[in-house]
């Protein structure tokens, strides 16, 4: 049957390769911008931002009672994030895990999983509220500091970015897999970041070398040891073979936005009174599954790839991690430890790939670029906050000017109001001569309570007006001097350091981990060699 042209309607021929290319690009950009990559300003992905905003909006703030996780997930899904409940809950769980986040943004109550990769309890069993440090991300959001946009069904407004008093992107890091790109930013120590922000405020021309003097390297929530240097093979010159070069891996990763950092577990060797030795593991590299590590060691012992281990047990408790590896009497602890580093995740590599959204575009960024972007964002936030406060203060001062003028002419005001035919007539007469009040001032005089006419109340109005004039002068001066806004950013950073700053958990060692040879895995013991 042949279709008449009129019956085809809006059907139009499209080449399938063109449609695939167009649709896939739309999908890829959606994943990159709306799902997988964090914004360089607040360090959050859209779903994380929506969770924090929704929790504040529903009153699940520090000091309030915990709210059921299912209710929080429903709030986020119904208002801002129309996707599955499982991804929203998984994101909230990660924000609450102390071994995932360097500075937890959600304060969870109940089973939120463990470092052994135990799954969290179902959302109907757990409860949560915002952690205190999360309030620094949301500070001043109600003072026109950031732009809002309509939610998915255009019934509500949601923030495009948070005011972010906390330098969250570097403090907590980020990881995500988009289409054709991925990000993996390590967490850092907040005290070091605040000092680095202060340095850039005082000296905008500070170099990467100056920053490296303050920011020593990644600071993982699980602690462990990170090595600054690594050995890399480089091609030889003039036809010679490849040579080994020593490179500062941490500086390279932070300067280029890409690199690799070798991390190790932190362990100690203990001896019993009977002469037996133990290797005790206290901290593991970031994102290492403790249960899987213990199982891997057991498999290696059974397969005789590692020898000298007599027993293996996990003595971890709420006070900290303690994995005990009991050695055989003849075993050499150093040789066993080297074998564990070579064959297990007790030594692993963190691949740094600092990719973030800059003006809505994915960019590989350096440590300095992230800090500069954060400072520029805070400048914009403080400027908008000051303009908002200035407008509100001027409005209040304007009202108080009218009240003070009315109190000075009190008898005439009372006589005028009593002689008026209606409230509208009274308002019109107050606007006219001799009072010459504005519409808002006249309304305020009509709404004024009689007790405000007492002498003490009049003094309070005068004192408040004087304070408002001082506030207006301060805000006008602040907006006229960008350098003073910079000093406010520095003060905020020092305040954050005092409130939330802590000691570094990850130890940075300069010496590089040597490559393991067969000799490293052989026990050191005295032998007798006889030749006949």
DSSP-based three-state secondary structure for 349: strand
- What pLDDT does residue 429 have? 87
68 φ/ψ angles, rounded to the nearest 5 degrees: -60, 135
Are the C-beta atoms of 445 and 427 separated by less than 8 Å?
Answer: no
The token pair that represents 35 in the structure block: 């799902």
Helix and strand totals (H; E) in the chain: 18, 19
- How far apart, in whole angstroms, are the C-alpha atoms of residue 491 and residue 458? 37
- How far apart, in whole angstroms, are the C-alpha atoms of residue 218 and residue 100? 14
- What pLDDT does residue 8 have? 58
Closest by CA position to 289, among listed 117, 102, 95: 117
- How far apart, in whole angstroms, are the C-alpha atoms of residue 87 and residue 198? 37
The token pair that represents 394 in the structure block: 């001027």
The catalytic position among 27, 80, 125, 278 is 125
Q: Any residues with CB less than 8 A from the CB of 139 and at least 6 apart, and which?
A: 163, 165
- What pLDDT does residue 196 have? 97
| Kind and range of the H or E run holding 129 | strand 127-130
Q: What is the pLDDT of residues 437-488, one digit of tens each?
A: 999 999 988 888 878 777 778 889 999 999 999 999 999 999 999 999 999 9
- How far apart, in whole angstroms, are the C-alpha atoms of residue 150 and residue 158? 6
Q: Where are the alpha helices (DSSP H) in 344-454?
A: 367-408, 410-419, 423-431, 439-447
**Catalytic (active site) residue 278:** no
DSSP 275: S
Alpha-carbon distance values, 238 to 131, 235, 242 (Å)? 60, 10, 11
Are the C-beta atoms of 475 and 385 separated by less than 8 Å?
Answer: no
The token pair that represents 66 in the structure block: 């915990």
Closest by CA position to 38, among listed 96, 83, 91, 90: 91
Closest by CA position to 521, among listed 347, 346, 331, 345: 331
- How far apart, in whole angstroms, are the C-alpha atoms of residue 41 and residue 30? 19
Digit-by-digit pLDDT tens for the chain (532 residues) are 555 555 556 888 889 988 898 888 888 888 888 889 999 999 999 999 999 999 999 999 999 999 999 999 999 999 999 999 999 999 999 999 999 999 999 999 999 999 998 999 999 999 999 999 999 999 999 999 999 999 999 999 999 999 999 999 999 999 999 988 999 999 999 999 999 999 999 998 899 999 999 999 999 999 999 999 887 776 766 667 677 778 889 999 999 999 999 999 999 998 877 778 999 999 999 999 999 999 999 999 999 999 999 999 999 998 889 999 999 888 889 899 999 999 999 999 999 999 999 999 999 999 999 999 999 999 999 999 999 999 999 999 999 999 998 888 888 888 888 888 898 998 898 888 888 899 999 998 888 887 877 777 888 999 999 999 999 999 999 999 999 999 999 999 999 999 999 999 999 998 765 555 555 555 556 778 889 8
- What pLDDT does residue 314 have? 93
- What pLDDT does residue 514 have? 56
Size of the chain in residues: 532
| Kind and range of the H or E run holding 55 | helix 46-57
**Degrees to nearest 5, angle at CA 419 with 418 and 425:** 100
**Degrees to nearest 5, angle at CA 65 with 63 and 70:** 130
- What pLDDT does residue 33 have? 83
- How far apart, in whole angstroms, are the C-alpha atoms of residue 70 and residue 80? 15
The token pair that represents 443 in the structure block: 């309304």
- What pLDDT does residue 31 have? 84
**φ/ψ bin of 187: left (φ > 0), alpha (ψ from -120 to 50), beta (otherwise):** beta
């Amino acid at each position: 049957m042949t279709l008449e042209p009129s019956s085809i309607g809006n059907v139009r021929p499209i080449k399938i390769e063109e449609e695939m290319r167009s649709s896939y690009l739309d999908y890829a950009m959606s994943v990159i911008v709306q799902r997988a990559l964090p914004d360089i300003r607040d360090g959050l992905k859209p779903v994380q931002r929506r969770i924090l905003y929704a929790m504040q909006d529903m009153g699940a703030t520090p000091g309030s009672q915990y709210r059921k996780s299912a209710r929080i997930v429903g709030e986020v899904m119904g208002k801002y994030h129309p996707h599955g409940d499982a991804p929203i809950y998984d994101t909230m769980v990660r924000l609450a895990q102390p071994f995932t986040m360097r500075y937890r943004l959600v304060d969870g109550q109940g089973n939120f999983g463990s470092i052994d990769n135990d799954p969290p309890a179902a959302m109907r069993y757990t409860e949560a509220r915002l952690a205190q440090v999360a309030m620094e991300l949301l500070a001043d959001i109600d003072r026109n500091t950031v732009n809002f946009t309509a939610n998915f069904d255009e019934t509500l407004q949601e923030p495009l970015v948070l005011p972010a008093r906390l330098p969250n992107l570097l403090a907590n890091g980020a990881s995500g897999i988009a289409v054709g790109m991925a990000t993996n930013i390590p967490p850092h120590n907040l005290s070091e970041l605040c000092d680095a922000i202060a340095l850039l405020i005082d000296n905008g021309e500070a170099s990467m070398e100056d920053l490296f003097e303050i920011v020593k390297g990644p600071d993982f929530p699980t602690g462990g040891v990170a090595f600054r240097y690594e050995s890399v093979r480089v091609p030889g010159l003039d036809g010679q073979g490849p040579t080994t070069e020593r490179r500062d891996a941490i500086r390279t990763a932070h300067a280029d936005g890409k690199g690799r950092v070798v991390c190790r577990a932190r362990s100690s060797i203990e001896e019993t009174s009977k002469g037996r030795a133990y290797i005790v593991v206290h901290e593991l590299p970031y994102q290492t599954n403790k249960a899987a590590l213990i199982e891997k060691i057991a498999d290696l012992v059974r397969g005789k790839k590692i020898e000298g281990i007599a027993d293996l047990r996990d003595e971890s408790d709420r006070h900290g991690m303690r994995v005990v590896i009991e050695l055989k009497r003849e075993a050499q602890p150093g040789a066993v430890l080297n074998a564990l580093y070579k064959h297990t995740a007790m030594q692993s590599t963190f691949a740094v790939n600092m990719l973030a959204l800059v003006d809505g575009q994915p960019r590989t960024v350096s440590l300095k670029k992230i800090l500069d972007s954060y400072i520029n964002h805070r400048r914009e936030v403080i400027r908008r906050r000051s303009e908002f406060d200035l407008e509100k203060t001027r409005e209040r001062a304007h009202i108080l000017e009218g009240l003070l003028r009315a109190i000075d002419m009190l008898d005439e005001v009372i006589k005028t109001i009593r002689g008026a035919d209606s409230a509208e007539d009274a308002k019109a007469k107050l606007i006219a001569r001799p009072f010459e009040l504005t519409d808002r001032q006249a309304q305020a005089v009509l709404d004024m309570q009689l007790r405000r006419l007492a002498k003490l109340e009049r003094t309070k109005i005068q004192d408040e007006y004087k304070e408002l004039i001082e506030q207006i002068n301060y805000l006008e001066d602040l907006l006229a001097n960008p350098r003073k806004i910079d000093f406010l950013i520095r003060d905020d950073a020092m305040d954050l350091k005092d409130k939330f700053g802590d000691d570094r958990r990850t130890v940075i060692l300069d010496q590089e981990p040597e490559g393991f040879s067969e000799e490293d895995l052989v026990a050191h013991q005295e032998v007798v060699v006889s030749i006949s």
